[in-house]
Amino acid sequence: MVVDIPPPELARHPLRQLASDRWAVAGGATIVVFLLIALAAPLLSGLEGHDPYTYDLDAVSDTGAPLGFGGGISAEHWFGVEPMTGRDLFAIVVHGARTSFLVGFAATALAVLIGVAVGLTAGYLGGWYDRLVSRFIDVLFGFPWLVFVIALGAIAPADLPKQLLIILVIGLFGWPGIARVVRGQTLALKQRTFVVAATALGAGPGHLLRHQYLPNLTSTIIVYSTMTIPGMIGAEAALSFLGVGVPPPTPAWGRTIGDAVGWVQTDPMFLVFPGTALFLITLAFNLFGDGLRDALDPRTRGLKR
């Protein structure tokens, strides 16, 4: 396969390429802002004077609907309050960012670790092992993991932390995609001149994997990881929406969105704030991942959008 690489005078450093992409920069800046919000969640909710666990029944009516404009928005409750409980919605949203980032990053790290190990060894070893891994990946792609998670949540021990269970399940079902990508890249690298030369000179499997394959797979792994994180965050939100995610009262965007659906007619702000947060962070990771992919791809580096 012939790869069209821009001439040296047109090629730019990946960081310059990334910095020139305004959408990628905007996505990266949004990610940084949300990370700071997640890290400073106790401080931010403390500035407002509320935490995400304390009930305030004086802020809701006898029917459970928030009192006041926009679901109880006021100087005391910046995003309003949660129906029925009166818990502060701003505190719930900023602390929910912690849950989403924890699950998203941890599940992605687990999926990437397994996927890279499986894909790299399958592409390098080939033979019956490669065929077995390929068939197993096909099975996992068609496996109804959501049904499995719901059933597992019902039988899991009560003392097992739900966040850990979600991370393990999402991560263990999230590695086939990157394994397939890494396997394909590894098969292509086996035909490259520098790998053939190193093999002919007597380089062992350990040397080849560490010094020939992994360095040339790094950009692919980084880009795929960046674009996997929003999927993991969305998966956690979907599970929380279905009631099998992080249990209450732990703040979680997905569960808040699920609770808000029943109040959308009387309190739309209860859906707007967590829904907007989930939408923005998912969009930001996708924009940043697209820009990072273009910056690290020699076929597009230096080309103007």
For the chain, how many residues are written? 305
Beta strands, E only, the chain: none
273 within 8 A of 93, measured Cβ to Cβ: yes
pLDDT confidence bin for 298, thresholds 50/70/90: low
- Please state, in angstroms and rounded to a whole number, the distance separating the CA atoms of residues 139 and 120: 19
pLDDT in tens, 123-156: 999 889 999 999 999 888 888 887 887 777 777 7
pTM: 0.85
Confidence (pLDDT) at 10: 43
DSSP 209: I
Q: Could you tell me which residues come within 8 angstroms of residue 127 by beta carbon, excluding any fewer than 6 positions away?
A: none
For residue 267, give the amino acid letter. D
Q: Which residue has the higher pLDDT, 182 or 20?
A: 182
CB 168 within 8 A of CB 110: yes
Peptide bond into 249 cis (omega under 30): yes
Strands, E, within 19-164: which ranges? none
Residue 303 has pLDDT above 50, yes or no: no
pLDDT digits (tens, 9 = 90+) for 18-43: 888 899 999 999 999 999 999 999 99
Q: Which residues pair with 88 in a beta bridge?
A: 81
Q: How far apart are CA 296 and CA 282, in angstroms?
A: 21
Average pLDDT score over residue span 266-275: 90
DSSP 3-state of 60 = strand
> Where does residue 49 fall: left (phi above 0), alpha (psi -120 to 50 degrees), or beta otherwise?
left
Condensed to tens digits (0 to 9), the pLDDT of residues 91-121 reads 999 999 998 899 999 999 999 999 999 999 9
* Residue 24 φ/ψ, nearest 5 degrees: -65, -40
For residue 282, pLDDT over 70 is answered with yes
